[in-house]
């Protein structure tokens, strides 16, 4: 059984944040958000599903979002 995908594991691999996609069919907004902006502590092991309930789309307000870790450096 593979290990659960936690923020601590992702951080240890150098992942600094994630793309968060709104799943509302009328909106489909997406944004890059760092773990710090999500207010995740450095040693906190939070599964992807536990974070999802804390996030919402900044355009339409939907809490139906999907998180995709960004494995390389963010743009800019």
Residue 75 lies in a domain: no
Check residues 55 and 43 and name the one with the higher pLDDT.
55
The share of the chain scoring above pLDDT 70, in percent, equals 75
Residue 44 falls inside a structural domain: yes
Range of the domain at 12: 7-69
Q: How many domains does the chain have?
A: 1
2 in any annotated domain = no
Structural domain contains residue 1: no
pTM comes to 0.76
C-alpha–C-alpha distance, residues 76 and 63, integer Å: 27
Q: Is residue 58 part of a domain?
A: yes
Higher pLDDT residue, 58 or 4?
A: 58
Per-residue confidence band for 42, with pLDDT thresholds at 50, 70 and 90: low
Mean pLDDT of all residues in 59-67: 91
Of 60, 69, 1, 64, nearest to 35 (Cα)?
69
């Amino acid at each position: 059984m593979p290990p659960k995908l936690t923020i601590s594991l992702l951080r240890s691999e150098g992942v600094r944040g994630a793309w968060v996609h709104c799943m509302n069919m009328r909106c489909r907004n997406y944004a890059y958000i760092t773990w710090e902006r999500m207010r995740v502590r450095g040693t906190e092991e939070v599964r992807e599903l536990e974070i999802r309930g804390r996030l919402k789309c900044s355009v339409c307000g939907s809490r139906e979002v999907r998180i995709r870790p960004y494995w390389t450096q963010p743009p800019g």
